[in-house]
Structure 1
Amino acid sequence: MAGAINAVVGSGSLITFPTLLALGVDPVTANVSNTIGLVPGSFTAAYGYRVELTGQRDRLVRLGAASALGALIGGILLLFLDPDVFQVVVVALIAVACVLVMVQPRLGAWVAARRDDPHPQGGMALWLGVLGAGVYGGYFGAAQGVLLIGLLGIFLDDGLQRVNAAKNVLALLVNGVAAVLFVLVADVDWTAVAGVALGAVVGGFFGARLGRRIPAPILRAVIVLVGIVAIISLLYG
């Protein structure tokens, strides 16, 4: 389930993280192990959208640097800060992301009407936004896909499916960089990693195949619904 959701939207950690906690894994260890385990599924999801990635190399190189740097910062924060520090900020970010996704068509048109470059890469505002999403993803990761889709959809002059494909690559970078950091310095439950990885790979493959066939309005509704569920889970879970 988490792998499929990550491919279509990006909030699979809201399934795997609570499951690991229910199985008795320490919260920080569960977060670390969950991030490492989701990397193979993130790769599967990105590969499943390879057709929609055509022509996005320069964009992804530029934004990928922001994702990687943000993931490193977020991973360090996870290892050294109180786990409750970002609770309020996380909920606020997801709420903002849902609003961005809902208003993205009109706001994206407004932004497009006021820029000179007909093929924009999003500018510094998008780069900084992706950096912030990377920090968040390295720290916890749940609903980072919602944040990324909201940002990319507004600042890029492109279709939602291609935006979703770019989101999968950036999420892969965030999870991958954070995973390398955690393997080197954190306490990892490798049994948990193996279980999450196996499910995420299978789910990511089928989720990518399904997500590519969903019309943009329905996909937008699914994204917002997942964001709302994320907020409820974080507030009352």
Structure 2
Amino acid sequence: MGWEFAAICAAGVAAGAINAVVGSGSLITFPTLVAMGVDPVVANVSNNIGLVPGSFAGAYGYRAELEGQRERLVRLGSASAAGSLVGGVLLLFLDPAVFKVVVPVLIGLACVLVVAQPRLNAWMLARREHAHPHGGTPLWLGVFAAGVYGGYFGAAQGVLLIGLLGSLLDEHLQRVNAAKNVLSLIVNAVAAVLFVAVARVDWTAVSGVALGAVAGGFLGARVGRRIPPPALRVVIVCVGVVAIFKLVSG
């Protein structure tokens, strides 16, 4: 129906903008698709594919802050790609019943991370003077783990990445956010290639999320910083709670 497609597009706009700024957009689009009657695993797969263009738009919008980070992102990008592949394989080959049990927990974790982000940022700033210029092996392993999470589900993977990059790199927050956008793009893109090849995809959902996410990605990169963070967190957490209720109630 036309209104359902419009609702998916609107959710995609919100998700694209949120992902560019912080990274919790799947807490908007995934519950929307489930509410439209899409099977949870298919919704997760379709959501991931649909958010790839928006992730690219968000990364492109931060291109100025990416200057000088090429070598670092090539190194960390390999961790994101490998982790995403592992997470995607887990999603496709574990029993779907496992996903339905695990995802409400992951959404709850994502909501906690969104709420805790100010404390994560404060901790990150406190550690900056002790940060390694390239992050070292601990950062590579942390980014790999975030990639596994992102390939399997992905909501709030951006919050995880900001916490990791910010605490282990000596960089300004906006440059950290730019790097986060590129790594999130890699995770989403690698998982999307895997899903297109072997998974069941709802292409109507993909197109709706993608159309909205592209617009939202550019919007988030340009004006997303003006959104009051407390208001943004309230919206994200409310949507996450609705998603948990929807999944648990069946």
TM-score by length of 1: 0.85
**What runs of 5+ residues in structure 2 fail to find an aligned partner?**
1-13
- After superposition, the Cα gap between the structure-2 partners of 1:228 and 1:158, relative to the gap in structure 1 and judged at 3 Å, is farther
2:65 match: 52
| Identity rate, percent | 63
Q: Work out whether residues 143 and 227 of structure 1, in 8 Å CA contact, stay in contact via their aligned partners in 2.
A: no
2:10 match: none
Task: Tell me the CA shift for residue 26 of structure 1.
Answer: 1.1
1:83 match: 99
**What is the aligned counterpart of 1:155 among 159, 168, 179?**
168
**What runs of 5+ residues in structure 1 fail to find an aligned partner?**
none
Q: What is the number of residues matched between the two proteins? A: 229
- After superposition, the Cα gap between the structure-2 partners of 1:58 and 1:189, relative to the gap in structure 1 and judged at 3 Å, is same
Cα distance in structure 2, aligned partners of 1:21 and 1:131: 28
- After superposition, the Cα gap between the structure-2 partners of 1:234 and 1:149, relative to the gap in structure 1 and judged at 3 Å, is farther
- After superposition, the Cα gap between the structure-2 partners of 1:97 and 1:18, relative to the gap in structure 1 and judged at 3 Å, is closer
Q: Work out whether residues 72 and 135 of structure 1, in 8 Å CA contact, stay in contact via their aligned partners in 2.
A: yes
Task: Tell me the CA shift for residue 23 of structure 1.
Answer: 1.4
1:189 match: 202
Cα distance in structure 1, aligned partners of 2:120 and 2:189: 28
> 1:161-200 deviations in whole A, cap 9, x for unaligned?
1111111000000000000000000001111111111000
**Counterpart code for 1:83:** F
> For structure 1, which segment, 221-230 or 186-195, has the greater mean C-alpha deviation from structure 2 after superposition?
221-230
Task: Tell me the CA shift for residue 91 of structure 1.
Answer: 3.5
TM-score by length of 2: 0.81
Q: Pairwise mapping of residues 117-128 of structure 1 onto structure 2 (< 5 A)?
A: 120-128=133-141
SS at match of 2:24: coil
- After superposition, the Cα gap between the structure-2 partners of 1:196 and 1:157, relative to the gap in structure 1 and judged at 3 Å, is same
Cα distance in structure 2, aligned partners of 1:66 and 1:229: 32
1:142 match: 155
